[in-house]
Structure 1
Amino acid sequence: MKKKYIVLLHIVFWVLLIINTSYNKFTLNLFSSYLSVPHDASLYIKYLLIETGYTLILACCFYCSYLFIAPQFFVFKNYIKAVLYIVCTIVFIIVLRYVLEYGFFLPVLGFDNYRGHEWPLTDFARNVILYYFPGYFIYGLIFFFVENWYKNSRRHQELQKEKLTTELAFLRSQVNPHFLFNAINDIYALTYQRSEQAPEALLKLSVMLRYMLRDGNEDFMPLNREAEYLENVIALQRISAKGVAYVNFIQEGYIGDQQIASLIFIAFVENAFKHGVLNDPDNPVEIYLHADNTGIIFYVSNKKNNSLKDTTGGIGLNNVRRRLQLTYADKHELVVKDQGGFYMVKLVLKLSQ
């Protein structure tokens, strides 16, 4: 909240306190100095001015405690300075009350709080220390403690959010260069062979780069954009494999504007292409996407290519698992199976309603 709004809230609180207290005392006619005075609007103004003066004393107790004393206790641990501020606050309040009582209330408003008996400063000091100071002094300490705890909590949350954003950006950056490297190699091979498919492949790559470098940097993207991106990846793979890449991409349900973590599926698809058998029509790479407004199911299955050994390594499931943990926490389920010569990944995401 902006500082000016906080100040406004403080002002509103004290004004409401003054109005409420003065009105209650005016209604009950509690000031003996005004028992014979007509109960009218001019009398209420006097009540209002008197309560404003007494509330000013309370406010001084509160803000001296909140702004000066509490920080020395809780933040700087300077107890000597804190005690010095307490003494100065008490002295200031004693003088302020004395001036209000005998410099304004009695001569200007005709309000004699002591019924003709002038109090010495020692009595003022005892009354202030025992009555005025303790309550609002403690309120100031409590208010500072709660506010400081809230600010530290907010700061911690912001730091955690910033750390999360930075980590997610790093994880996404691990995805992009890896796929880019493979795609450029494929297009280079097509160009070297003077394939007629090279221009189309280059166009597909251009579309994907635009998405990866511009849109893919967003935390979330519409599901239909992610599906379109996967379609381009598959099309580029088929081109680079000279049409002998058998890939089935099935989309069911509502593939629309559901928000999903950007580039979250590409790791599974890329690993299937990289480590799977693509030229077997009886065992094609199966990619399945089903979605509605409540959740998404993404499934990839491929026959393992045991003869292909890639020493450069891949993106790895650890990267994807970490992104899912950071982005979806307990709203996802990831199942990985490696058995019978086949590799299968199933990801279930629960979307917020």
Structure 2
Amino acid sequence: MKRKYIVGLHILFWTLLITNNVINSIAATRAHNTVIDSAVIFKDIMLVAGYNSIMILCFYGSYFLVSPALFLRKNYLKALLMTAVLLFLMTGWRYLLEFWFFKPVLGFDNYKGNNVSVSYYVSNIFWYYFPKYFVYGLLYFSAENWIRNRNRQEALQREKLSTELAFLRSQINPHFLFNTINDIYSLTYQKSDEAPVALLKLSKILRYMLYEGARDKVPLHHEVEYLNDLVELQRIGSKGLANISFEIEGYVGGQEVAPLLFVAFVENAFKHGVLNDPDKPVCIQLKASNQQVEFSVSNSTVVSGTQKDQTSGIGLSNIKRRLELIYPGKHELIISEQERYSVYLKIQLGS
């Protein structure tokens, strides 16, 4: 459901609830007073709206402040801190309503002249509002998050079915593949020692695409080996003239990532980059830790990274879609087209 409709439903719900409470309050007032004028009705409306605003603050404070830390980030200390902040906000808001509006403007004293301590305020709010509206906010967020995750999983399944064949066909540029096969043939004809090495790397690449590429997650070091084989084949295809820098920093091991996410960027750099200029090499860099992976590619030729490359398959737009589905809110993709075309991708690992 679109966000504007959800917001509309929330507004409608609270409007109906407050209206119902106002009607009940006026009915109770009429039962004790024979004369009901506009001033009495206005007072009832303001009192009901004011106290209901505390309920609303409790519900949405629980939803926006506490629930994300509790259910998404599993940061229980932050959730506890946000709960304390919410309790402070509710206490302050109720104090302003009762002593700066209800009493001086409406002439309503909820405590009939008695002094109220801070501890009473905090205790009353905690035991009256929190067991209901605070819990309601947690439950609503939990249910919404469960529905969101289920919808995302269904979208992932649909996306996987629709793009799996495209991945298998097009992760390597067809021209690059054909040229590599021709180069391997030439090496074989010349009885070069590089021929079996090149053939083995090509076999590994195709095997990785067919078997590893169909999995949801693969070890990061497998993805790095795949990219390294791709770089070596590119060097063979350029007769050793390709100037490619492939640097790896940090720990590259069993961290799991979605397969075939980086290859489109590398392939794009090979296709559009100037490979024979030693002063401007194609630069590929991967930095990894247990928490995140940073991947960057740059070359000396500026090309558009937003258009689909008809000759290289699914293109960057589909990679962006996969990132949105697999790593929602946990990735950063920056494509720059300044002096050098560059792509920077950061992925947060873990749940």
TM-score between both structures, scaled by the size of structure 2:
0.51
Give the Cα separation in 2 of the matches to 1:320 and 1:311: 12
Give the Cα separation in 2 of the matches to 1:265 and 1:172: 16
Give the Cα separation in 2 of the matches to 1:322 and 1:166: 12
**Matched residue of 2:203: which SS?**
helix
Q: CA deviation at 1:237?
A: 0.6
What are structure 2's unaligned runs of at least 5 residues?
1-144
Do the aligned partners of residues 169 and 278 (structure 1) sit closer, same or farther apart at CA in structure 2, a change above 3 Å counting? farther
Q: 2:177 aligns with which of 173, 178, 184?
A: 184
- Residue 164 (structure 1) aligns with: 156
Note if contact 1:171-1:323 (Cα within 8 Å) is conserved in structure 2.
no
Do the aligned partners of residues 179 and 264 (structure 1) sit closer, same or farther apart at CA in structure 2, a change above 3 Å counting? closer
Note if contact 1:238-1:244 (Cα within 8 Å) is conserved in structure 2.
yes
- Residue 278 (structure 2) aligns with: 281
Q: CA deviation at 1:154?
A: 8.5
1:88-103 map, 5 Å: none
Q: CA deviation at 1:178?
A: 2.0
Do the aligned partners of residues 198 and 321 (structure 1) sit closer, same or farther apart at CA in structure 2, a change above 3 Å counting? same
Do the aligned partners of residues 312 and 154 (structure 1) sit closer, same or farther apart at CA in structure 2, a change above 3 Å counting? closer
Residue deviations 1:283-331 (CA, integer Å, cap 9, x gap): 001000001111111010111178xxx9844342211100000100110
- Residue 270 (structure 1) aligns with: 267
Q: CA deviation at 1:211?
A: 1.1
Q: 2:224 aligns with which of 223, 227, 235?
A: 227
- Residue 291 (structure 2) aligns with: 294
Q: 2:348 aligns with which of 343, 347, 350?
A: 350
Per mean C-alpha deviation after superposition, the further-off stretch among 183-192 and 255-264 is 183-192
**Matched residue of 1:217: which SS?**
coil
Per mean C-alpha deviation after superposition, the further-off stretch among 220-229 and 153-162 is 153-162
Residue deviations 1:29-56 (CA, integer Å, cap 9, x gap): xxxxxxxxxxxxxxxxxxxxxxxxxxxx
Do the aligned partners of residues 169 and 201 (structure 1) sit closer, same or farther apart at CA in structure 2, a change above 3 Å counting? farther
1:58-97 map, 5 Å: none
**Matched residue of 1:299: which SS?**
strand
Note if contact 1:289-1:299 (Cα within 8 Å) is conserved in structure 2.
yes
- Residue 246 (structure 2) aligns with: 249
- Residue 321 (structure 2) aligns with: 322
1:107-256 map, 5 Å: 161-180=153-172, 181-191=174-184, 193=186, 194=189, 196=192, 197-256=194-253
Aligned partner letter, 2:341 = Y
Give the Cα separation in 1 of the matches to 2:255 and 2:281: 28
Note if contact 2:333-2:343 (Cα within 8 Å) is conserved in structure 1.
yes
TM-score between both structures, scaled by the size of structure 1:
0.51
Q: CA deviation at 1:215?
A: 1.4
Residue deviations 1:182-218 (CA, integer Å, cap 9, x gap): 4430233215533534433221111111111111110
Superposition RMSD in Å: 2.9
Do the aligned partners of residues 160 and 296 (structure 1) sit closer, same or farther apart at CA in structure 2, a change above 3 Å counting? closer
Give the Cα separation in 2 of the matches to 1:345 and 1:155: 33
Give the Cα separation in 2 of the matches to 1:289 and 1:163: 29
Number of equivalent positions: 199
Give the Cα separation in 2 of the matches to 1:305 and 1:243: 24
1:261 aligns with 2:255: no
Give the Cα separation in 1 of the matches to 2:283 and 2:183: 25
- Residue 75 (structure 2) aligns with: none
Give the Cα separation in 2 of the matches to 1:171 and 1:270: 18
Note if contact 1:187-1:198 (Cα within 8 Å) is conserved in structure 2.
no
Note if contact 2:152-2:325 (Cα within 8 Å) is conserved in structure 1.
no
Do the aligned partners of residues 266 and 172 (structure 1) sit closer, same or farther apart at CA in structure 2, a change above 3 Å counting? farther
Give the Cα separation in 2 of the matches to 1:191 and 1:293: 38
Q: CA deviation at 1:255?
A: 0.5
Aligned partner letter, 1:344 = S
Q: CA deviation at 1:352?
A: 2.0
- Residue 51 (structure 2) aligns with: none
Residue deviations 1:56-83 (CA, integer Å, cap 9, x gap): xxxxxxxxxxxxxxxxxxxxxxxxxxxx
Identical residues among aligned pairs (%): 43
Note if contact 1:223-1:260 (Cα within 8 Å) is conserved in structure 2.
yes
Do the aligned partners of residues 166 and 288 (structure 1) sit closer, same or farther apart at CA in structure 2, a change above 3 Å counting? same
Aligned partner letter, 2:271 = K
Note if contact 2:184-2:198 (Cα within 8 Å) is conserved in structure 1.
no
Give the Cα separation in 2 of the matches to 1:206 and 1:163: 32
Q: CA deviation at 1:248?
A: 0.7
Indicate the structure (1 or 2) with the bigger Cα radius of gyration. Answer: 1
Give the Cα separation in 1 of the matches to 2:300 and 2:245: 13
Do the aligned partners of residues 208 and 169 (structure 1) sit closer, same or farther apart at CA in structure 2, a change above 3 Å counting? farther
Do the aligned partners of residues 166 and 281 (structure 1) sit closer, same or farther apart at CA in structure 2, a change above 3 Å counting? same
Note if contact 2:247-2:286 (Cα within 8 Å) is conserved in structure 1.
yes
